[in-house]
Chains A and B, each alone.
Chain A
Amino acid sequence: MTRSATSSTDSAVLRAEGLRREYDELIALAALDLRVGRGELVALVGPNGAGKTTLLAIAAGLLDPSDGTIQICGAAAGSVAARAETSYIPDTPVFYQDLSLGEHLEYIARLHAAPDWQAHGASLVEQLGLDQWWDKLPTQFSRGMRQKASIALGFIRPFSLLLADEPFDGLDPPSRLVLVEMLRAASAAGAAVIVSTHRTEIADISSRCIALHDGQLVYDGPPDRSVISSGELPVPRQGAGAPGRPRSGTR
């Protein structure tokens, strides 16, 4: 369920300028400039500790940047307007202990004033093979089932920007294909989708690949399986991105 319009005149759904985040002495993100436009499906890749989760959490409004700005549809990340536009699927699913899957879907849909959430919720759980689990507690699900439930919660509400942090983790191959289809559909409907992953399946559907290394943007270009599998990331040079490749900007 994606939003059909935004109030911003800027075509970029996500716009980061000089985005920087430090944890004590560790630089998790170093002065990142980034624009992601409507309908783009971006594979965000990089080795562990590259800054992928930090970038997504800042965009979701969960973390504050140490410096720089980040806007979602023209509103500061974390503001009410930005929260209405951003759906975030965390790397570790988070659920209430005392709510069933159906109750979670209802609650989140209502918090976001999602229209016709019952039909959409039923369709989502059917797609993800969760229809038998509607009345069950997600906290008692297996790892893969919890991940599917978390994906359903990410898709139940309207959004212009979908941030998915390692959404393929724990999913079986058929479920991965379902998720690929869901991401493709969200992007086709006009949402900007950013997926942090090491899975090469994303190469087939993504329109752009962004690689981070030690908090720096080292690749921003067409999807490349070798880059996505993160074994062959170009090492950043002092003050410059990967040679011959665009560093940033909406393509």
Chain B
Amino acid sequence: MTDAAAWSANQPSGLEALRDLRAARRRRYAEQIDWIETLYRLYLGVIFGGLGLALISGALADVRVGRHTIETIHRSGPAALGLLVAIAVAGGLRSGARGGPLVLEAADVQHVLLSPVDRGAALRGLAVRRVRTATFAGLVVGLIAGNFAFRRLPGPPAQWFLCAGVFGAALAASGFASAMVASGRRLHHAAASLLAVLILGWSLIDLIGRRVTSPASMLGQLALWPLHSTGDSFALPAAGLAAAAVAIGFGLSGLAGTSLEAARRRAGLAAQLRFAVTIQDLRAVILLRRQLASETPRSRPWLRLAPGDGPRHAIWQRDWQSFLRWPLVRVVRVCVLGALAGLALVGAWRGTTPLLLVASLALIVAAFDAVEPVGQEVDHPTRLSLLPVGAGDVIRRHLVAPVVMMAGVLIVAVATAIAAGAPGQCVAVLVVMVLPTAILTLCCAALSVTNDPYAYAFAPALGYFQTGLPVALVIIGAGAPALIARQAAHHGGSPVAAAVECELVVLVICRVVIAALRHRTATRFPVRS
């Protein structure tokens, strides 16, 4: 028997060894689980999660939409939801070109993928589990969206749950599948980006033309099937689902081509990322996510600033130097987040209150990018401690340029709202919100990046509070003014006046957060005498 024949003959035994080991590890892992405790937590999660959702849905009591809006949703909704699918697919393609979506153990890369077993077979089990997890997560999010949709839109609740759930699952699976395709077929970054642009462009054309031609829009039509007319055929939604299934099959079939270099890099970063998540270190999570996405600052800035003189504007200049080195992907992401916040605020103004949550989360994510100069300062505590000025003062001065940046993000939100046909009162309220919301989101992001993840290592409840507080403040500070202004408009009052009153309170909150930031940094990095 030649060696080549011997390798082929050894393949089954290698795969058998792999199966045996994985089964043994699963058994060992299962033996360590306290099943009673796990089931109890699951039970609590389902009960409280379900109850909370039902209470929130009932308490919001959003009004049912009118005939005109239903017609608009019926015409433009599939393409708009298709754009969401296209964004997920485009993100998946870009992630796959960098080696995603699978995260392997470093030992698996070294010992399994370097052994003469079929890599496709070795990776398939893991990939199927990940697809299953992503699909389940999408299904849950879809069900939650369906729960809100049937309260405002016509159609049987069961149909809304089913269609939204399947859409959510298909959306998540499509994103994951596109990443597997790009990774397994070793798509070059440029090719993946081009393909992503084409897919996004197709969906945009559908949206502008209010048509359903792309598979993404077909999936969007599935989500809105409860609004269908009697003559509508289910062929297009079915074709969308079939396209998602084909993408998954295509992705799974090409797993053997996964780059080991990328797998090794991701293995190391993912281990650190899991640890950072465990200790709720959001700053480390952001930095590691950027490394996973190969998102590095530009070696040549977009614009080179003239050298300054003296300490007067040193921090202001340093911060803009940081922004001017943002990679294109970060610029696009921040703009998209601003646009998403604008659309969500318009949606909330028109009656879908839960969209305030989407707007707040989009703004805080953008603020985490804008607050980078503060993060860099905190990441280098020795440098900060050696400065001849108090650390609190340095951090306060570092907030100015990022606030201007966040104001820019909110201006994108206002522009998007205008483009989306928001009523004049809504636009006026958004304009009032720009500066206070920019200050609040930025200060909260700064509060988050200056958190000490080990401060409450022995008091996890306090740790959760420390991590959740900045996000909660943004949700309240960005959501409450919009909500109160909307209520004022509904009751014949002046929404702008209501918003201004609310924003005064938001500014007081900002003042408190800034004081807390100064105190925290001054305590952590005292000036040496």
Contacts and interface: CB of A to CB of B under 8 A. Distances in A.
Interface string B119-161: 0000000000000000000000000000000000000000000
B48 interface: no
A61 B107 contact: no
B111 A113 contact: no
Interface string A76-99: 001011011110101000111011
Contact of B111 (A7, A81, A94, A98): A94
Interface magnitude class on chain A: 20 to 34
B335 interface: no
B115 interface: yes
Given A62-B260, A62-B261, A111-B115, A84 B25 contact: no
Given A62-B114, A64-B259, A84 B7 contact: yes
A9 to B, nearest CB: 12
Interface in A35-57: none
Given A7-B3, A95-B107, A111-B14, A61 B21 contact: no
Interface in B1-57: 2-4, 6-7, 9-11, 13-14, 16-18, 20-21, 25, 28-29
A141 interface: no
Contact of A81 (B7, B25, B115, B260): B7
Interface string A108-150: 1011110000000000000000000000000000000000000
Interface in A139-179: 153, 157
B114 A83 contact: yes
A110 B111 contact: no
Contacts of A94: 106-107, 109-111
A108 B106 CA distance: 15
Contacts of B116: 80-81, 83-84, 111-112
Given A3-B3, A7-B4, A108 B107 contact: no
A245 to B, nearest CB: 32
A23 to B, nearest CB: 10
A84 B264 contact: no
Nearest to B260: A62
A177 B6 CA distance: 34
A80 B7 contact: yes
A159 B117 CA distance: 15
Contacts of B11: 80
B112 interface: yes
A240 interface: no
A5 interface: yes
A146 to B, nearest CB: 12
Nearest to A87: B114
A96 B107 contact: yes
Nearest to B32: A98
B110 A113 contact: no
A135 to B, nearest CB: 14
Interface magnitude class on chain B: 20 to 34
A110 B25 contact: no
Contact of A111 (B6, B28, B109, B112): B112
Interface string B447-471: 0000000000000000000000000
B377 interface: no
A195 B136 CA distance: 48
A62 B264 contact: yes
B260 A108 contact: no
A110 B114 contact: no
Nearest to B112: A111
B107 A110 contact: no
A228 B28 CA distance: 46
Contacts of A3: 3
Contacts of B25: 96, 98-99
A153 B111 contact: yes
Given A78-B260, A94-B106, A111 B18 contact: yes
B112 A80 contact: no
Contacts of A11: none
A60 interface: yes
B140 to A, nearest CB: 30
Contact of B21 (A6, A80, A107, A113): A107
A62 B106 CA distance: 12
B62 interface: no
A63 interface: yes
A63 to B, nearest CB: 5
Contacts of B14: 110-113
B256 to A, nearest CB: 10
B95 to A, nearest CB: 19
B261 A107 contact: no
Contacts of B6: 113
B295 interface: no
22 contacts: A3-B3, A61-B260, A62-B114, A62-B264, A64-B261, A78-B260, A80-B11, A80-B117, A81-B7, A84-B116, A88-B110, A94-B111, A96-B107, A96-B111, A98-B25, A103-B21, A104-B111, A107-B17, A110-B16, A111-B18, A113-B6, A113-B9
Nearest first, the 8 closest Cβ-Cβ pairs linking A and B are: A110-B17, A113-B10, A84-B116, A111-B115, A94-B110, A96-B107, A83-B116, A7-B3
Interface of A: 3, 5-7, 60-64, 73, 78, 80-81, 83-86, 88, 90, 94-96, 98-99, 103-104, 107-108, 110-113, 153, 157
Interface of B: 2-4, 6-7, 9-11, 13-14, 16-18, 20-21, 25, 28-29, 105-107, 109-112, 114-118, 259-261, 264
Given A62-B260, A95-B107, 16 more contacts: A7-B3, A7-B4, A61-B260, A62-B109, A62-B261, A86-B114, A90-B110, A94-B107, A99-B25, A107-B21, A110-B13, A111-B18, A111-B116, A112-B10, A113-B6, A113-B10
